[in-house]
Structure formats: structure tokens, C-alpha cells
Structure 1
Amino acid sequence: MGGKLYRGQAGLPFSSSLRIYEPLEAFPPEQQRQLVADGDRIGSRAAVENAELQASLGRITRSGGDPFPTGRTDLVRMTRVPGGRHAAPGPGQEEAAPDAGRLLYCPSQLVIRAGLAANALMDGVHGPLADLLIPVSQRDKHQQRIDRINAGDDAKRVHTRASTWGIPFSWFSLFAESDRKEVVESDGHIQTVRVWTPLTEALERARFAVAHLALAAPDLDMLDDLTQLTEWLELFHVQSMVELDYGAVADKVYPDESPMDVRLGIECLAEGDMTGAAAAYRRLASRWIPIRQLARAS
């Protein structure tokens, strides 16, 4: 399944995601039941990725010109927080089995995310071209879907942020070299790399970066990005996990030291070490600018 998924992505833009996985109790009761049902229905992570890709390709070729997801069959990703062991056994008792940990859930929320993406696209496109890309009638129809979701009891928090043709440097500030990683490979290629960190750790790192950049480089665009990221993280349950999913771009950049370079760059700026900050930026640029240039390649 995994190999088919990434062979099917050939020729598509590199897409990376930043996701929040929350415990079940963070969701309203009705959504809790739906998340469990969707998780049981789809199953493995590879199956979720494949289903989402196939659905997106299907929308492109759908008759009637509606490119938006309907939300009738939303998807959910799950991850398990590693557990420790139960309490030590008493006299005459067997040693307890390792704790399997607890499941956390990240709903795809495709309807809301598609609406946000369309709005962002329309902000930069006007006139006849905008209507050609996404007709007004289709945008209005999709807004009705969004309104129905917002009128219900579903969580309003958007759990996923996506980026094409590269990963924003601000995302790397949430992670460290020691964080848990999964490298997914097939046929000699890296399909993706996923990195996880607890929400509390990500928030602490984000606030550290914001505080130091506000003093050392208040005009840096990354400061605005980090401020928005911090406000976003604060919306979620304290026992959540944050996942950086590189996507297919991982095959071009991994092993990747970007989290370390971002951290060192911020620390150097805070210490007034412009030479060190410039060196960290050069390492980042040499790694990611060629990826971003692919967006303009024919």
C-alpha cells in the first residue's frame, strides 16, 4: 500500500504537514464516536494516506466542476503515545506487561481546510481567472458545507497545517534532534519522515523562540510565523502530540538537521553572534531553497 501511494505522487507538488493529535476526551461526545468509527474503518496509517490521495485525485476529475471535499467520509489519523510499565509487581506476582500507551486522534477536517486553502488562493487571484479556477457557485456551495460544520458540535480547531514545496523554518523550531522519529522507506526511497513531540515541549520551544526573536530580530518574518504558531498550539489539549510529516520531500533532504540549525540560529541572534546566525541560515538555505525553486520549474 505505501509504495503504491508514493508512486502515485510522482509529478505532484511536495506537500508537508504539521498536525496536532489530541486525546479522545478533547472532542465533543458525538465526534468521539465518529473518530473511533473512522479509525476502525480505515485502519493503518498507510491506508489513510492512500485514501486521502485517491480522494483528492478523484475530486480533480469529478463531473460538475466541484473541486471541494463533501465531508461525507472524513478521515482520521491516529498515533499512540508510548507508555511505560505498570506499577512494580508485589511479592508472588508476575511482572506487569509494558503499557501500550494511549491513542491520540487527528481528524483530517478536509471541508474546513479546503475552504481555507481556497480563500488563500483567491486572495492572490482576481477577476475572470479566479472564476475560472474555482467558480463562484462552487465556492458558495462549499461555504454552505462549512457553515453546517460550524453550526454543529464539532471541534472548531483546525488540526492540520500544510505547506507545499518546502517546510516553513518556523515549524522546525517546535522540534529537537532527540524527538521520536519514524522513517518510512520503500523501493530504496524515503517516502516520508515523521517527527513527534509533546505539545508542552513544542509550546515551550515556540515561546523560547518568540521571546528571543522579539528582542534580537523584531522585524524578522519568522517572528510573525512563530507568534501565530504559538497561538495555534495553545488551542489544543495539554496532552496532545505535535507531528511534523515531511512527505515525499524527505527523500531530497533527509537526514535533515534543520531543527538544530533553526535553534542555533535563534540562539546566536539572542547572543548577538551574527556570524553564527548567518552560518545557520546558510545551511538552511542550501538545503531548502533548491526545493522551493522546484515550484517554478517547468
Structure 2
Amino acid sequence: MSGELYLGHSNLPFLSALRLYLPLTEFTDVEQTLIERSAPPSEDRMYADLRELNDSLGRVVRAGPSTLPTAAAERFRSLQMVEDGPVLYSLNQVHFRSAKAVEAFRDGPNNRLAEWLFSAKVVEEMHELAATERRVLTRTSTWGIPFSWFVLISESDRTEVVESRSRVITVRVQVPLATAKQRLVSGIANLEVAAPELDLLDELRELHDWLATVPELAVVELDYGAIADRIYPDESPMDVRLGLECIAEGDLTGAAAAYRRLASRWILIRQLARAS
């Protein structure tokens, strides 16, 4: 996929996302109405990115007591895996996820800072929103992609490479939910036997819990974001898979080699987070 696209997001902190795409029937009546009115066509895959970037920049310069997203900032993405197949949708939930973030900030070690940044009214509104029962459809990560996410995907999965002006804008890898869950179960089983002390095991269990109640027709998408221009083509999914296979076989040398390849590939990206 190519075209002349705005590249301003390439200079922002690298943000990657793990998304769920669901059938239309999985959304509320209000959300279904919004989708039918405003969801972009499945072939226009950059529309939502540009709208979200515009929304984000608008909040930075917005006058008012709070720059947090509002319900009006909700955006939808659409995806059709195969021609004549069902169209699936993903809601960005930026309002709901911001409420969750404010809640975590307020309850964390920097809670005094939260009191300075947000008024009591805003905190209370965010608390009420965060308490609602909603399925989280998007997970995000800045300055790198968690290695656990790569367990979900393979180099043979459906992949979109978005390019403009000789730069990679993003890479999106999509996999049916059933396949992603099967890979998770296999990885968890291997680590439980061979390396139960690894933090990766807890991360995989958390992902498995996240996907446990999702309908089988769903699709999981790993969106590299602007980080793709520095990392793609990326062999991380293969290295993670090889590392898990080596651990299961007791080949610690092979597992260490796979980890070194992963670490050397991503260390430069993560160092950018601390660069001046």
C-alpha cells in the first residue's frame, strides 16, 4: 500500500497497538449506529490513523480545564480479511482507555501529581467511566512492542505494509482469533513446564485472559505504528517462536541466541525513549 501520506506522526513517541476486530453484532445499538454512519470503508485503512492523529494534536492546543479525550473522539476501524468475507470493526475507545489510565495514575505512586493535573470533577467522571463493564479492544505500547505480542503472530500471517515517500508508515499483521489463541496456549504450556519463572509466562496468561471471552469470529491485529520504519522487515515473531521451541526442547543455548537477536534489534528503539 502506498500514497502521499502525512508523516508528522513519525516524529511523535512511537506507539504500537494490539487490536481486536469484532462482528458488528458485538457492539451496542448506539455503537452500531455510529459505525454505520461513520466507519471508513475497509479499503481505506489509513483514515482512522489520520483522524486519531488530528484528534490528538487538537487536544494539545485545546483550551479548557482538561485535554483528556471526550466521547466525541471515538473512532472506528474496519477490516475485511478476505474478499466477500465479513467486515469486522474495532472501536478505539480512547475516552474509556483514558479513564482507565487516569484511574491507574491516581492510584499509583504519583497520585499527588494526579491531583495537580486533574480537577476533582474530572477524576470523579473518569472514575465512573472506568468502572463501567466494557471489553477493552485495544492495547498500546510506547517505544517498543512487548515480546509477548509476537507470540500471537507469524511471518506467514496476513500483513499490510503502508509506505509513503520511501518510508514505512506502519505494518499491520492480522491473525484469526482462534489461531492466535492456539499459539498462546502452546506457548503457555511450554513455559509452564520448562521455565515457569519467566515473566513472559505471566504476560502470555494475561493476554489469554484478555482473549478468553472474545467471539471466535474476531481478528487480532498487531499494528507496529511509526516504529515500523526503523524495524521492518522484522524477524521478531520468528525469533520468539524459535526461543519458545528451544526452551521446550531444553536447548538453552538456542533460546539465549534467539533472545540476543531480539534484544539487539529492539535495544536501540527503547534507548530513544531516554534520548534528549
Which TM-score applies when normalising by structure 2? Answer: 0.92
**Aligned-pair CA distance for 1:56:** 1.3
Task: Give the alignment partner of residue 286 of structure 1, picking from 238, 247, 264.
Answer: 264
Measure the CA separation in 2 of the matches of 1:270 and 1:200.
22
Opposite residue 266 of structure 2, the aligned amino acid is W
The root-mean-square deviation of aligned C-alpha atoms, in Å, is 2.2
Opposite residue 269 of structure 1, the aligned amino acid is I
Is the Cα–Cα contact under 8 Å of residues 103 and 127 in structure 2 kept in the other structure? no
Match of 1:14? 14
**Aligned-pair CA distance for 1:184:** 0.4
% identical equivalent positions: 48
CA gap of 1:146–1:128, structure 2 versus 1, over 3 A, is closer
Measure the CA separation in 2 of the matches of 1:252 and 1:170.
20
**Aligned-pair CA distance for 1:126:** 2.2
SS of alignment partner, residue 44 of structure 1: coil
Task: Check if 1:245 corresponds to 2:223.
Answer: yes
Opposite residue 238 of structure 1, the aligned amino acid is E
Q: 117-126 or 157-166, which moves further after superposition?
A: 117-126
Task: Check if 1:131 corresponds to 2:115.
Answer: yes
Match of 1:215? 193
Written as runs of structure 1 = structure 2, the 5 A alignment for 1:139-288 is: 139-146=123-130, 150=132, 156-288=134-266
CA gap of 1:162–1:260, structure 2 versus 1, over 3 A, is same
Opposite residue 56 of structure 2, the aligned amino acid is S
Question: Of the two, which has the highest radius of gyration?
Answer: 1
SS of alignment partner, residue 214 of structure 2: coil
CA gap of 1:43–1:274, structure 2 versus 1, over 3 A, is closer
Is the Cα–Cα contact under 8 Å of residues 5 and 164 in structure 2 kept in the other structure? no
Measure the CA separation in 2 of the matches of 1:235 and 1:263.
25
Match of 1:49? 49
Match of 1:106? 90
Measure the CA separation in 1 of the matches of 2:61 and 2:128.
22
Written as runs of structure 1 = structure 2, the 5 A alignment for 1:67-78 is: 67-78=67-78
Is the Cα–Cα contact under 8 Å of residues 103 and 130 in structure 2 kept in the other structure? no
Written as runs of structure 1 = structure 2, the 5 A alignment for 1:12-91 is: 12-39=12-39, 44-83=44-83
Is the Cα–Cα contact under 8 Å of residues 69 and 95 in structure 2 kept in the other structure? yes
Which TM-score applies when normalising by structure 1? Answer: 0.86
Is the Cα–Cα contact under 8 Å of residues 181 and 193 in structure 1 kept in the other structure? yes
| Structure 2 gap ranges (5+) | none
| Structure 1 gap ranges (5+) | 84-99
CA gap of 1:141–1:61, structure 2 versus 1, over 3 A, is farther
Measure the CA separation in 1 of the matches of 2:145 and 2:94.
20
**Aligned-pair CA distance for 1:267:** 0.8
SS of alignment partner, residue 9 of structure 1: helix
